[in-house]
A = this chain, B = another copy of it.
Amino acid sequence: MELSVFFAGTGGSVPTQRRGLPAILIRRGGERILVDCGEGTQRQLLRSVGLTEIDEIFLTHLHADHWLGLPGMLKTFDLRARELPLRIHGPRGTAELVDGLLRFAGRTTYELRIEELDGGELLERDGYDVLPVRVSHRGPALGYVFDELDRPGVFDPRAAVAAGLTPGPEFGRVQRGETVRGVTPEQVMGPVRSGRKLTISGDTRPCDALCEAAYRSDLLIHEATFAIEEAQRADQTGHSTAAQAAGIARDAEVSLLALNHFSIRYPVRVLREEARAVFANTVLPRDFDTIELPFAERGEPRLVRWEDQQPPAAEAEF
């Protein structure tokens, strides 16, 4: 099953000519999960991979640059006659926020299911869990860990026959975990293969709880608002430097670190250099870049630049 992360907006606080406000689209099989929804997110998607239906939305926190795109997107789904309920998760205050916004923007006819999280609640989904982690920003803020369930090891039919099983229903039963005529699954299956793990920090100071939760993630997406020279300001405003983000990646032993939420103060190469000095396998996605997360046996997570992806067919208009 394909798993990838699409960077719909990689800026922070204010948009720039090149970077939209925070929004990350997780694509797993046919599922579409949005993490944060800065102003303009619906149009960022329209201009790139298309604005498909979103199955679930996770807000990291309630600062305006992370949700101002929500009411417009919810209204667009409504104009398209969406019928499926939409789940929206976020820290305490999310329900009041969404309710307040829609009082002005107008209600949706489809149902919104708002769930407020404190961090620590394990949300079980089909084939993966979502773990919200309380992080350290100004006001309630969450990181999220998306953690696929382990997959059974690879079945070895020759070993099964050698152990005395007959091809057919017996093979199926042992693969599903049953001991069949004394033959245990362990005898005929390879080692359990772990699922993929993706951690998103949201806005935060360097945070031990997040570092722990991110342990051995295939991909950590961590904010890097400031450069080292403004470490004090980062702390005061509840943000991280690129080097601090890289320190979390190193300590959590992740495979790949992707930085986002850059201040407009510096050229991003400054942040890239500072981060790579601490953790070499660091990338700084631009808007519309994708990170593909293959299963471990099929390769490493890798950044694919937007210009290397198939451009969508131009919209016929004139």
Contacts and interface: CB of A to CB of B under 8 A. Distances in A.
Nearest to A40: B40
Interface stretch (A11-19, A207-215, A222-230): A11-19
Contacts of A282: none
B268 A317 contact: yes
Nearest to A50: B17
Interface residues of A, number: 39
A192 interface: no
Interface stretch (A98-106, A144-152, A164-172): A98-106
A259 to B, nearest CB: 14
Interface stretch (A41-49, A115-123, A241-249, A288-296): A41-49
A274 to B, nearest CB: 15
Interface string A4-47: 00000000011111101100000000000000000110110011
Nearest to A11: B43
B68 A17 contact: no
A140 interface: no
Interface in A72-109: 72, 75-76, 79, 97, 100-101, 103-106
B16 A72 contact: no
Contact of A18 (B68, B72, B315): B315
Contact of A68 (B13, B68, B79, B316): B68
B15 A68 contact: no
Given A79-B13, A79-B14, A39 B104 contact: no
A72 B38 CA distance: 9
Contacts of A79: 13-14
A143 interface: no
B268 A18 contact: no
A69 to B, nearest CB: 7
Given A65-B72, A71-B64, A103-B100, A15 B39 contact: no
Given A14-B42, A16-B317, A68-B105, 20 more contacts: A14-B75, A14-B76, A16-B46, A16-B315, A17-B46, A17-B315, A18-B315, A20-B43, A39-B42, A39-B43, A63-B106, A64-B72, A64-B104, A65-B75, A68-B68, A97-B104, A100-B100, A267-B317, A267-B318, A268-B318
Interface of A: 13-18, 20-21, 39-40, 42-43, 46-47, 62-65, 68-69, 71-72, 75-76, 79, 97, 100-101, 103-106, 267-269, 315-318
15 contacts: A14-B75, A15-B46, A15-B76, A16-B46, A16-B317, A17-B315, A20-B43, A39-B39, A39-B69, A40-B43, A63-B106, A64-B75, A64-B104, A267-B316, A268-B317
